[in-house]
């Protein structure tokens, strides 16, 4: 009888080719699969709440695994961390009902995107942020971010190679903040977005679009037009992966 365990996972995505196993590339799912399979003695499928792309980080990714090895959650956590490289860590392990599925049971996610607004990217911040050296208008970006909230067809804000047929998702919250940081030698802007699900590149396309607004290159009204058009060419560029972190998955 296999037991189902939920894993809370953090990773620094810098040196990973994303979550999903693909050939011989170094991926988070690949490292986890190796670590779990050593414990189980045979290959185990590590089911994640969703993929993250190359270079994207996680503070709270969730996965579940079904294993027959008799082991408690705390020992499993220690054993997994012992078998994993230091850029991916298991924060907690919980025994869960057999019906728990990290992907299908998820009801929402929060992502955070961090931008350093300075002439120079601090080496103390560079792994988990992207750089914008031009001036950014916070108020305009806060106003524009409201346009994203609601249920929409997000075709204009997703990758052409997105494998989801259904492009309708609901964004429930989009918070834009800014604070001065001595380390950054300027302001750090944070974009925190919560929704019931996100298409591939969707958060990064939304942030890339908001940064155009912040630089005064695009109006708030143009965002609603872009959403309605379902035309990828009307939204902004995909912001770099390094700034993006999966903060939390809701169940």
Name the residues that contact a copy of itself, by CB under 8 A.
Answer: 10-12, 57, 59, 77, 81, 86-92, 119-124, 126-128, 182-183, 185, 245
Element housing 66 (H / E) = strand 57-67
Confirm whether 98 is a catalytic residue: no
Nearer to a copy of itself, 128 or 189 (CB): 128
Nearer to a copy of itself, 11 or 174 (CB): 11
Nearer to a copy of itself, 16 or 191 (CB): 16
CA distances from 200 to 159, 172, 236 (A): 6, 18, 15
CA angle at 172 for the pair 92 and 169, rounded to the nearest 5°: 90
Minimal distance, residue 130 CB to a copy of itself, in Å: 13
Minimal distance, residue 183 CB to a copy of itself, in Å: 5
Nearer to a copy of itself, 89 or 167 (CB): 89
**H-assigned helices in the chain:** 28-40, 73-83, 138-146, 202-214, 221-229
Minimal distance, residue 129 CB to a copy of itself, in Å: 12
**H-assigned helices in 46-170:** 73-83, 138-146
Tokens 């972190």, residue?
A: 245
Choose, from 12, 53, 94, 196, the residue flagged as catalytic. 53
* Tokens standing for residue 214: 């912040």
Minimal distance, residue 128 CB to a copy of itself, in Å: 7
Residue 121 near residue 181 (C-beta atoms within 8 A): no
**Residues with active-site annotation:** 53
């Amino acid at each position: 009888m296999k037991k189902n365990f939920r894993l809370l996972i953090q990773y620094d995505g810098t040196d990973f080719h994303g979550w999903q196993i693909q050939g011989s590339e170094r991926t988070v799912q690949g490292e986890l699969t190796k670590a779990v399979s050593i414990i189980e003695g045979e290959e185990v499928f590590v089911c994640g709440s969703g993929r993250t792309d190359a270079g994207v980080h996680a503070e709270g990714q969730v996965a579940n695994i079904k294993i027959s090895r008799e082991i408690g959650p705390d020992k499993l956590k220690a054993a997994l961390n012992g078998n994993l490289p230091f850029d991916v860590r298991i924060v907690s392990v919980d025994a869960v009902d057999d019906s728990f599925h990290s992907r299908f049971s998820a009801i929402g996610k929060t992502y955070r995107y961090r931008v350093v607004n300075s002439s120079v990217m601090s080496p103390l911040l560079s792994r988990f942020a992207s750089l914008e050296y031009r001036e950014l208008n916070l108020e305009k970006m806060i106003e524009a971010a409201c346009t994203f909230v609601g249920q929409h067809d997000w075709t204009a804000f997703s990758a052409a190679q997105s494998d989801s047929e259904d492009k309708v998702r609901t964004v429930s919250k989009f918070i834009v903040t800014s604070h001065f940081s001595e380390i950054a030698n300027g302001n750090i802007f944070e974009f925190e977005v919560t929704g019931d699900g996100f298409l591939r590149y969707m958060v990064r396309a939304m942030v890339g679009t908001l940064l155009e607004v912040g630089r005064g290159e695009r109006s708030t009204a143009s965002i609603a037009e872009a959403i309605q058009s379902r035309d990828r060419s009307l939204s902004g560029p995909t912001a770099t992966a390094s700034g993006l972190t999966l903060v939390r998955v809701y169940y």
